[in-house]
Chain A
Amino acid sequence: MSSRVCKTCGGSDIDVDQARGSAVCTGCGSVLEDNIIVSEVQFVEGSGGVSSAVGQFVSADGPVKAPLLGSGFHTSVGKESRAQTLQGGKRQIQQLGSQLQLNQHCLDTAFNFFKMVVSKHLTRGRKTEHVIAACLYLVCRTEGTPHMLLDLSDLLQVNVYILGKTFLLLARELCINAPAIDPCLYIPRFAHLMEFGMKTHEVSMTALRLVQRMKRDWMHTGRRPSGLCGAALLVAARMHKFRRTVKDVISVVKVCQTTLRKRLTEFEDTPTSQLTIDEFMKVDLEQECDPPSFTAGQHKVKMQQLEHELARKLDEVEGEISCYKDEIETELEKSRPKLRGIYAAYAKEIDPDDVEVSSQASEPEVPEVEDADLQAAAQHLTQNFLCEVIQEEEGRGKKPDDGKQEAGSDTMEAGSDNMGAGPYRQAAPLAVILGKLPIAAGLSLQQTFQTFTESDQGEKPDDEQSESGELDLKDIDDQEIDKYILNDREVEVKTELWMKQNAEYLKEQKEKEERIKKEKEQGTYKEKPKKSKKKKEQIQALTAGEAIERMLEKKKISSKINYDVLRDLNSRGTGGVEGSSPSRETSDPPDTASTTRRRLNRRRRRKTSDANRELATTTSIMGKRVRLLLSSTSKKKKTDVQAENTVTMTTETSSEVTTKLEPDRSSAPSVPTTVVEEEEEEEEVEEECVSALQLVGDYGCEEEDVF
């Protein structure tokens, strides 16, 4: 209220009384205003003496139901759309969330996220399903529930990476930092699914310890947490004497066999795997391991380096090696029976050949073969220290190394026994070679990097020199370019081949063109010719029927409806259709106009009898919808419908249809169309049954027999 000046006396001291609703000048006493609009809460006495406040509660984002005056029309439309979006979103959240068994608090949080997303216009261009799933997953992550993105994608039948993309985007835009996934969260959930009975808790505890151990051994970075959980649970189950196969575990955990086996192998490589069950439960090893991929990478690099060095050295000392070869052969012949298992096979093949093999082109097997050779040679020349060094470095690698160590230790003893004075001198240079190798292997990676950078830099100046400033032709060799273009003969051959290969596609294109030509002549050429044909049929039908037809057509386009299944379901009729939402998605499209007309005629008759039955069944969507319709049309034609048998219903059905359509159209747009469509689907389902009934010419009991 602006303090105004009194007109009579000019005084600015004005007293405003809210209760009376008047403004009075205190100077001269003249009343300036009467009946001021008051913004106070008023109370009314209701029945029984209860006093309640006057007015309506209008929420900021709720649906605006209060009818506005004509001037406010635009704003109401805009708000209604937003409100509808939010409502629809809320519904979907509730649906999806209940399938995931999330509590109400989580669902509310998810709805809040959704509201934020909508206000930031991030739903544009994205399927609402995806956005909702992402909101729900955000909630799961912030609350720490054991739900995986995979679960959501299972429910929605959407690729998990697509959902992941949406989720990442939303998290970034809403600045929500979801805490990292801890595999420990999933253990109780998976353990429960694997049915350990009374011992579920113990097995979970063991599995938890295993997972924590895996974390310390750096097996969990970059890996899906479910894979680790699967491996841990499998081991824990075995530890507690439950027979769970890999297949059981993978069906629960949703990873593939290969992954599980790989995790198990990696875990086997850690020193923890060597402990017994009791030891494991009590002791926690201090040392930690490198992550398996890192180790594998290092191993590879080291092998390559060893190879390089060996290749170089071997070229230099080839002569000496032939002597060693003989030496080695004799020694190995003596010690052969001591090598175990696979290594026996290895040893036989290795000795004469691998010296030459090692200097050849690198293969992944060659480094391992070389190692065996190195070890054999080193052992025979009793350079224990060197052997140990080499073994240590390779012992970090994969499984076969463990085997090698065992074989190595055996042959070492043999070698030391067979040591003679002669080989010592010759051994010395080899020992020198071997002595250098560990150092080479121990070279920091930077050296390799440096060689790479040098080679790179060497190439670059050449490239720059050949770069020319001109737009075309300077360094482009025309002759070479000509090679890229086929000559005439080749073109013919290729044309033939290409035509043959793409014959189908070319045929399709031709047919399409012809079709377009025809339609152009007919004057009915449209962008999508198929649909136009259908619309011609509608024109032939009755006016009301045409409207329904159009809606039927629209429904037909939906890809979520499996019409074939619906036809099969017809024998079961509405029982199957009512049951659940998937079954509801079946509908029989009209094949020709005539059948649709007949269908329309029978519609009314069918409807009420079916409706009666449906009213009896509970919680059926169809039932509710039909009930809705029924309530709106019951007053009008119910009595008439029941009596009739013949096709003379046509006029009545058409009038009923129109009357039915009108009240539907008057209310909010979306609901009745779906209702009508539901009804249509339902009636189409009863098609076959209707015809049978018509033959019999009776209602009620006959229908129930059929169903």
Chain B
Amino acid sequence: MDSSNDEALDIIITNVVATFRTRCHLNLRTIALEGTNVIYKPEGGKVLMKLRKPRITASIWSSGKIICTGATSEDDAKRGARRLARILQKLGFKVRFSAFKVVNVLAVCSMPFAIQLIDFTKKNRPIASYEPELHPAATYRIKHIKATVQVFSTGSITVTGPNVQNVATAVEEIYPLLFEVQRPRCK
């Protein structure tokens, strides 16, 4: 995936979040009573439905807005969303699959070296921030591609972005910065 380096860096996508609309009002009680694998949340006003095949969890609101989380790829998310729409259709609602959008992608990647966080923060001052009291990782926000990278001292990083392509670009962009501040392995 990462062609700019000698070794292949493994970017594993762990979560894809997508939303879509059914363009019709949904009766949550019906869904709660007639669907398997559903949890009704009255305080949030939503129903959680968990699918097995693309392993996703969907939050369904009565306005017809649905958020799908837990997919491992964009295609998976789309398929899961369509399945969900099909289920709702079978339950009797006039569902139309519209406005499908992948909102967030979370990926993890592991560098083969450890990283000196304090040097990293110093070098990239306004863009990177590190608060050990709050979070063990340094946060690096890349504005132009709207991605956030959290860098841990062990060399693992987590990247969140609006789509998979951005995530890959973010990794490519940050790799040289991390390489500079790598910690020389002792022993």
Chain A minimum-CB-distance residue to B153 = A221
Interface string of B37-59 (1 = CB under 8 A from A): 10010100000000101000000
- Contact of A463 (CB < 8 Å), options: B7, B73, B116: B73
Task: Verify B79–A467 contact, CB threshold 8 A.
Answer: yes
A residues 208-254 in Cβ contact with B at 8 Å: 218, 220-226
- Quick check: is A149 within 8 A (CB to CB) of the other chain? yes
Task: Verify A452–B10 contact, CB threshold 8 A.
Answer: yes
CA separation between A466 and B32, bound complex, in Å? 30
Task: Verify A291–B86 contact, CB threshold 8 A.
Answer: no
Task: Verify B126–A175 contact, CB threshold 8 A.
Answer: yes
Task: Verify A291–B114 contact, CB threshold 8 A.
Answer: yes
- Quick check: is A498 within 8 A (CB to CB) of the other chain? yes
Task: Verify B83–A481 contact, CB threshold 8 A.
Answer: yes
Interface string of B109-131 (1 = CB under 8 A from A): 01010101110011001100111
Size category of the binding interface on chain A: 35 or more
Chain A minimum-CB-distance residue to B186 = A288
- Quick check: is B85 within 8 A (CB to CB) of the other chain? yes
CA separation between A187 and B10, bound complex, in Å? 41
Contact (A287, B37) CB under 8 Å given A172-B126, A463-B75: no
Question: Which of B114, B121, B129 is the most central at the interface, judged by chain A CB atoms within 10 Å of its CB?
Answer: B114
Task: Verify A180–B36 contact, CB threshold 8 A.
Answer: no
Set of chain B residues within 8 Å of A473, measured between Cβ atoms: 86
Task: Verify A222–B133 contact, CB threshold 8 A.
Answer: no
Task: Verify A491–B33 contact, CB threshold 8 A.
Answer: yes
CA separation between A168 and B7, bound complex, in Å? 35
Interface string of B170-187 (1 = CB under 8 A from A): 000000000000010111
Interface string of A62-88 (1 = CB under 8 A from B): 000000000000000000000000000
CA separation between A225 and B33, bound complex, in Å? 51
CA separation between A444 and B117, bound complex, in Å? 23
Majority secondary structure, A binding face: helix
- Contact of B133 (CB < 8 Å), options: A149, A452, A495, A502: A149
Task: Verify A291–B129 contact, CB threshold 8 A.
Answer: no
A residues 411-469 in Cβ contact with B at 8 Å: 444-446, 449-450, 452-453, 456, 460, 463-464, 466-467
Set of chain B residues within 8 Å of A164, measured between Cβ atoms: 131, 133-134
Contact (A150, B155) CB under 8 Å given A476-B86, A484-B35: no
CA separation between A491 and B53, bound complex, in Å? 23
Size category of the binding interface on chain B: 35 or more
B residues 4-44 in Cβ contact with A at 8 Å: 7-10, 12, 32-37, 40, 42
- Quick check: is B154 within 8 A (CB to CB) of the other chain? yes
Set of chain B residues within 8 Å of A466, measured between Cβ atoms: 79
Contact (A476, B126) CB under 8 Å given A161-B134, A221-B153, A449-B8: no
Contact (A491, B10) CB under 8 Å given A290-B186, A473-B86: no
Question: Which of A288, A294, A456, A460 is the most central at the interface, judged by chain B CB atoms within 10 Å of its CB?
Answer: A294
- Quick check: is B144 within 8 A (CB to CB) of the other chain? no
Interface string of A127-167 (1 = CB under 8 A from B): 00000000000000000000011100000000011001001
Taking the closest CB of chain B, its distance from the CB of A474, in whole angstroms, is 9
- Quick check: is A472 within 8 A (CB to CB) of the other chain? yes
Set of chain B residues within 8 Å of A446, measured between Cβ atoms: 7-8, 112
Taking the closest CB of chain B, its distance from the CB of A270, in whole angstroms, is 11
Task: Verify A291–B90 contact, CB threshold 8 A.
Answer: no
Set of chain A residues within 8 Å of B35, measured between Cβ atoms: 484-486
Task: Verify B8–A502 contact, CB threshold 8 A.
Answer: no
Taking the closest CB of chain B, its distance from the CB of A308, in whole angstroms, is 17
Contact (A453, B134) CB under 8 Å given A472-B82, A472-B97, A494-B33: no
CA separation between A427 and B112, bound complex, in Å? 36
Task: Verify A472–B87 contact, CB threshold 8 A.
Answer: no
- Quick check: is A315 within 8 A (CB to CB) of the other chain? no
- Contact of B82 (CB < 8 Å), options: A218, A297, A453, A476: A476
Task: Verify A222–B137 contact, CB threshold 8 A.
Answer: yes
- Contact of A450 (CB < 8 Å), options: B8, B12, B53: B8
Task: Verify B154–A148 contact, CB threshold 8 A.
Answer: no
CA separation between A464 and B40, bound complex, in Å? 34
Task: Verify B114–A294 contact, CB threshold 8 A.
Answer: yes
Task: Please give me the 10 A-B residue pairs with the lowest Cβ-Cβ distance, nearest first.
Answer: A222-B136, A221-B153, A164-B134, A446-B7, A449-B10, A294-B154, A222-B153, A177-B125, A467-B75, A294-B114
Q: Which residues of B are interface residues toward A (Cβ below 8 A)? A: 1, 7-10, 12, 32-37, 40, 42, 51, 53, 73, 75-76, 78-79, 82-83, 85-87, 90-91, 97, 110, 112, 114, 116-118, 121-122, 125-126, 129-134, 136-137, 152-155, 183, 185-187
Instruction: Give 20 CB contacts A-B under 8 Å.
Output: A150-B133, A168-B134, A177-B126, A290-B185, A444-B112, A453-B8, A460-B73, A466-B79, A471-B97, A473-B86, A476-B82, A476-B83, A480-B53, A481-B90, A485-B34, A485-B36, A486-B36, A491-B34, A494-B34, A505-B42
Q: Which residues of A are interface residues toward B (Cβ below 8 A)? A: 148-150, 160-161, 164, 167-168, 171-172, 175, 177, 180-181, 218, 220-226, 287-291, 293-294, 297, 396, 444-446, 449-450, 452-453, 456, 460, 463-464, 466-467, 471-473, 475-476, 478, 480-486, 491, 494-495, 498, 502, 505
Extra contacts besides A463-B76, A485-B36, A485-B90 (12): CB < 8 Å: A148-B133, A150-B133, A177-B125, A218-B153, A224-B133, A294-B153, A464-B75, A472-B97, A475-B79, A481-B90, A484-B51, A494-B34
